[in-house]
Amino acid sequence: MNVFRIGLIGAGSIGTRHMKAIDELAGTELVAIADPSSAAAGIAVSRGLNAFADAEGLLSETDVDAVIIATPTKRHHADVMTALKYCKTVLVEKPITATMKEANEVIRYATEQECQVLVGHQRRYYPCAQIAREIIQNGRIGRLMAVSGQWTTRKDEDYFAPAWRRNFEAGPILTNLIHEIDLLRFLCGDIASVSAEMTNHDQNFEKEDAVAISLKFANQAVGSFLLSDRTPSPWTWEMALGENAKFPKTGMNAIRFMGVEGALEFPNLVLWKHADDNGNWYQEISPEMIETPFIDAYVAQCEHLRAVACGHETPIIDALNGSRSLDATLAAARAATSGTRIYLSI
């Protein structure tokens, strides 16, 4: 069996997480790293790999089957375009780019080069997400009417020590919301419009302390999502599922989907229904716990990258799909600052 060769562009915290995933896959090998830092060079030496300062250096001198881009967001556009110039299959960390203009350029160039660009929204790979999507889209809770979710926690004070983390660009909308938006799009379909209200009356920084977002989906369902990085609570995806060992697992669900015949808690799936699909508030409603396995989503994502590059699968989330999650997230930011409803092209 031929070994599948991957080049890694960006070897920071998320880059090293991808390294761990590559190491777990038989027949897949990390062959080179591009990152200008001395720490990255040290990692390359310890692994016996070639190290390059940038994507151009790696791709001009190394034969790879695909690249993973885990550089800071502002670098995504340039690094993806370089990989596409060399006609490589690309997995780029979320968000696809920093702006919609850049995202559209990536989409066009990928089409011209006949290359696939995958966007690293790893939550789509969890079995709980895939099963929730089937439950909602197959009508087990009836016509979807509403969604309610939150991501509310208190970040430590040291987190805000760097001045840039007090700016709007570092607030929970642009830092954390894109994960939630992409999940909602995956489970419920495209978002048609967003509006928002925000406040910063605790820390009095430029960035928001809390934001309440109102959503309308293309299928006419409505939704709300609450975010705050100043409120101790058990209600975040990470704490609900235990995805990241840095954050204590609570098992408390953070999102609920309501249909005309039932409701679904997520990500630890609990399906609430009456005995009769036409049941109402006078009748008992009962929960059904739906067990799903916990996997390493980064390994699943890397395995999917290999399958796409080999022509065996199509992307779970390609450049166009990833750009729509970016568009909805940026719209929420504009709505919060302008106080207006933003309508999206879908």
On whether the CB atoms of residues 180 and 149 are closer than 8 A, the answer is yes
Report the distance separating Cα 130 and Cα 167, nearest Å: 35
Question: What is the dihedral sign for C-alpha 99, 104, 110, 113?
Answer: negative
Report the distance separating Cα 85 and Cα 115, nearest Å: 10
Query: Hey, is 145 helix, strand or coil?
Result: strand
Please name the helix (run of DSSP H) or strand (run of DSSP E) that holds residue 342, with its range, or none.
Answer: strand 342-343
Print pLDDT tens along the chain (346 aa): 589 999 999 999 899 999 999 999 999 999 999 999 999 999 999 999 999 999 999 999 999 999 999 999 999 999 999 999 999 999 999 999 999 999 999 999 999 999 999 999 999 999 999 999 999 999 999 999 999 999 999 999 999 998 988 988 888 988 889 999 999 999 999 999 999 999 999 899 989 999 999 999 999 999 999 999 999 999 999 999 998 888 999 999 999 999 999 999 999 999 999 999 889 999 999 999 999 999 999 999 999 999 999 999 999 999 999 999 999 999 999 999 999 999 998 7
Residue 190's pLDDT is 97
Strands lying side by side in the sheet with 89-93: 50-52, 28-34, 4-9, 66-69, 89-93, 117-120
Residue 345's pLDDT is 87
Report the distance separating Cα 184 and Cα 132, nearest Å: 11
In the chain, what's the furthest Cα-to-Cα distance?
70
Report the distance separating Cα 344 and Cα 217, nearest Å: 10
Contacts of 326 (CB under 8 A, 6+ apart): 95, 96, 97, 100, 103, 178
Report the distance separating Cα 234 and Cα 226, nearest Å: 13
